[in-house]
Amino acid sequence: MWMGRQRFHQPSTGSFAGIASANHGGESRMPGTTGITGVTGMWDMLCESNRSNISQRLRVSRSSSVSITVAAVACALLLFLSSPVDADAGRPGDSNTELDLVTRAEHGDAAAQYRLGRMYHRGEGMPRDNTLALKWLTRSADAQSADAKAYLATIYAAGDGVERDYARAIGLFRDAAQQGQSTASYNLALMHYRGTGVLKSFPTSFAWMRTAAEQGELDAVYAVGLMYVWGTGVTKDEAAGAAWLERAAAKAHSRAQFDLGVLYSSGIGVESDAERALQLFHTAADQGLSEAQEQLGYLYESGGSVERNFGEAAHWYRKAADQGRAEAQYRLATLYLRGKAGPPDYTEILKWLLRAAEQGQPDAIHNVGAMYRSGVGIAKDSAKAVEWFKQAAEAGLADSALILGLMHYYGEGVEQSYARALTWLRDAAGKGSAPALTRIGLMYVNGQGVLRDSVTAFAWLSLALEAGDIAAEEYHRSVDLRMTSDQRRQAVTVTDELRAQILPKAVASRN
C-alpha cells in the first residue's frame, strides 16, 4: 500500500544572509568582484536572533495564496555576488594588458595598482601571487584608493594569504566607507552585527547598512528593508521595511521581490494584495530564484489566490527542483504520483523522491520506504523499506515510526520483536500518532511484549480516543466492561500520568 504523505507546504524560506565561501574564514565581501570570499555573513545569525519569532509560524490555509513563516520572510544562507566595481574602468585610452597596467602601476597610478593587485590575487590573466597582490593593493590603498582599501580589508578579515587581522581590516573598511565605498560600509555592517573584531552592536550594524544602502549597495538596500521588518538594530517599522524592499525590488533584486511578495501576501507593512504578491513571485522566479519558483508551484497546486493549474505547478516545481530545492522535488514527485503531471510515472517519482531524500526531506524519505514496502515502481524489499522508514522516523515523522512499529510487530523485513515494536510505537505516540496509542493499548490487553494489564491498556486506549482514533472505541469499551471500580479509578490516574508524559512530546514534535 502506498503510504504517500501530503504535508502542509512550508517552503524553505530564502532570504538574505551575508556572504559565504568554502575557501576562507573571514566574513566580508570583496569590492568589485564577480566572485565571493569570506564566511557566513550576518543574516544567518540574524535568523538565529529571530528564532523565537520564527517558531511562531503564520499558518495559511491550503485555500490561501501562500504559505510562509512570519519572521522570516527568510532565513536560508545565501551567497550574494556583487557587481564588478572596476575603479579603472571607463577611462579613455586605458589598456587592459598586463604590461600596460604594470607600467602605470609603477608610475604611481593608484587605479592601475588596485587593478593589478586584484588580478594577482584572483589569478586573472597571470598566476595567482598573494605577495604581489598585497604589494600593489597596499600601494594603491596608501594612495587613497577606496576600492583598494576595501579589497585589502577583506583579505585581512579572511586571513587570505596573510595573518588574519580584524583590527587592520576594520580600519581599512572604515577609511574606505568614509570615502563612499559601499562594499566597505556593507562589510562593516556585517562585522558589527556579528561582533567580529568589534563590539557586537545591532544599531551600529544598521547604521552602516543604511550608509551602504545610501551609497548604492543593492544588497544593503534589501538588508535595511528586512532589518526594519524585523526591528533589528532599529525600531520595528514594517511599512518602512516594505518601502526599502520596494526600492531593491525595483532594481531587479530577486530576493527583495520574493520577500516583498511575502509581505503583500500576508499584509505585513502593506495592504494585503494577492495579485501583487503573485506578480512579484513571478518576477523573482523568472530571474531564477528557486524559492519563488517553489512558491509558485505551491500556489498553482493549491489554488486560492490563483486558479488551480497542476501543469503550471509542475512547471515551477520542476524549475525549483532542478536547482536542488528538496521541497519542490518532493512535491513534484507527489504530483506525478497523483497523476496531476500526467499519468503516474514511477521512474520520475522515484528520481525526485531520492533527490529530495538525499537532502534529508523527511516526507520523501518516508515515501521511498513506502515504495520499497509496497513494491510499487520498484522491486519490493521490506528490509530496505525498514531502513528508509527508520531515517524518516529519526527525522521526526510519526507515520514512519508507526510503520516501523508495525513491521517489527509482524516481523516484516525484520526479525519479529514485540519489544522493538513497542519502542517504535511509543516513539510514534510521542510524535502524535493516535493509531500508535491504540496499538500500544492492545499490546497491554494481549500481553504482547509487556505484562497483561487492563488498567494500563485502558489508559492508552483512552488517550487514543482523545486523539481521535475511532478504531480504539470498541477496544476501549471491551476493556471497560471487564474492569472493576477500583481499576477504573486507577486507570484515571494512569491516563493522567501518560498524558503528561506524551502530550508535551507530541506538541514539541509538531512544532
What are the chain's domains? 371-426+433-510 (1.25.40.10)
256: left (phi over 0), alpha (psi -120 to 50) or beta: alpha
Q: Is-contact 383 413, C-beta < 8 A?
A: yes
Q: What tens digit of pLDDT does each residue of 175-211 get?
A: 999 999 999 999 999 999 999 999 999 999 999 999 9
Contacts of 472 (CB under 8 A, 6+ apart): 434, 437, 438, 441, 461, 464, 465
Q: What tens digit of pLDDT does each residue of 441-467 get?
A: 999 999 999 999 999 999 999 999 999
Q: Cα(402)–Cα(393) distance, rounded to whole angstroms?
A: 8
- Write down the mean pLDDT value for the chain: 83
- Above 60 in pLDDT, residue 39? no
Q: How far is CA 16 from the centre of its chain?
A: 11
- Above 70 in pLDDT, residue 41? no
Confidence class of residue 237 from pLDDT cuts 50, 70 and 90?
Answer: very high
191: left (phi over 0), alpha (psi -120 to 50) or beta: alpha
- Above 90 in pLDDT, residue 439? yes
**Residue 89 pLDDT:** 35
Q: Cα(275)–Cα(390) distance, rounded to whole angstroms?
A: 43
Looking at the chain, the whole-number percentage of residues with pLDDT higher than 90 is 75
Q: What is the mean pLDDT of residues 363-387?
A: 96
Task: Kindly report the number of other CB atoms within 10 A of residue 480's CB atom.
Answer: 15
Q: What is the mean pLDDT of residues 481-495?
A: 95
- What is the identity of the amino acid at 140? S
Confidence class of residue 345 from pLDDT cuts 50, 70 and 90?
Answer: confident
Q: What tens digit of pLDDT does each residue of 205-225 get?
A: 999 999 999 999 999 999 999
Looking at the chain, the whole-number percentage of residues with pLDDT higher than 70 is 79
Q: Cα(9)–Cα(60) distance, rounded to whole angstroms?
A: 9
**Residue 97 pLDDT:** 65
Q: What tens digit of pLDDT does each residue of 43-73 get?
A: 343 444 443 332 222 222 222 333 333 333 3
Q: What is the mean pLDDT of residues 418-437?
A: 96
Q: Cα(491)–Cα(498) distance, rounded to whole angstroms?
A: 10
Q: Cα(502)–Cα(429) distance, rounded to whole angstroms?
A: 7
Using a cut of 0.75, tell me whether the model's pTM lies above it.
yes
Q: Is-contact 488 476, C-beta < 8 A?
A: no
* Least trusted range by pLDDT, from 205-214, 281-290, 496-505: 496-505
Cell of 15: 532570504
Contacts of 414 (CB under 8 A, 6+ apart): 382, 383, 386, 407, 408, 420
Cell of 35: 566572485
Alpha-helical (H) ranges within 267-417 are: 274-286, 290-302, 310-322, 326-337, 346-358, 362-374, 382-394, 398-410
